[in-house]
Structures are given as C-alpha cells and as structure tokens.
Amino acid sequence: MRVYGALFWNLSPLINVTEPPRVYVGSFRYVPFLGQTIHHDLFLREEISLLQDLRDVAVSVIEMKLALVRQHAIRVLVHAVLVSEYVNTFNRVRSILTDSNAVWADIVSNPEQYVLEYYCDK
C-alpha cells in the first residue's frame, strides 16, 4: 500500500487527474505462471483486467476520432452554407453600375443589412 501511495504521489503532477489511476499488479512475462505461485490468481486477474482495459481504450480512441471527424464535417457544412449565402447575397445585390469589390466589402462588414425577410423572426 505504501508503494502504491508513493507511486501515485510522485506521478500525480504529471498526469493532472483528480482520481488516482489504475495500477496493475502482476508478472507480465511470456512464460506461464507456475502452478503454485502465491499470487497466481491475482496476477491472472490483473493481466485479464489490463487486456480488457487496453481493448476499451482502443475502442474509445476510435469513438473520439469519429466524433472529431463528425464535428469537423459539421463545421465544413456551416462554412459552406455561409459562403453560399454570401455569394447569393452578392449576386442579388450587385449590378452593372456598382463596383464588385465595394459590394463585397459592404456585405462582409455589414451583413445584417442584407438579411432576407424569411430569415428574420416575426
């Protein structure tokens, strides 16, 4: 118990978590355990638990990457909609007699002036 406490005390500044991390106890060797080892059952349970937690970490990493991809796709969609609305507003407002650069600058600097009626709450 003292070793566990000292280990957590020394690692806590590095990991920045509020709850203590799981520490696995075992003999992780490639050779099988001897039949009558004192802590054979404990080592076996800890090894199984470690392998299950590693599998769960792999699954959660995949889920986090999928969530990030989904979030990025939503941002791309929002960006595309905004660009489309700016282009539609530009095409609606411009004329042969106006300066295109001035129209773009005005739309970008004052977008609230170009909101169509069906976007406004009544």
pLDDT of residue 98 exceeding 70, the answer is yes
Quote the mean pLDDT of the chain: 82
- Domain residues for the domain of 104 are 2-119
CA distance 68 to 36: 49
Nearest to 20 by CA among 34, 6, 32: 6
pTM here? Answer: 0.52
The total number of structural domains in the chain stands at: 1
Mean pLDDT across the stretch 19-34? 73
28-56 residue pLDDT tens: 677 776 666 677 788 888 888 988 988 98
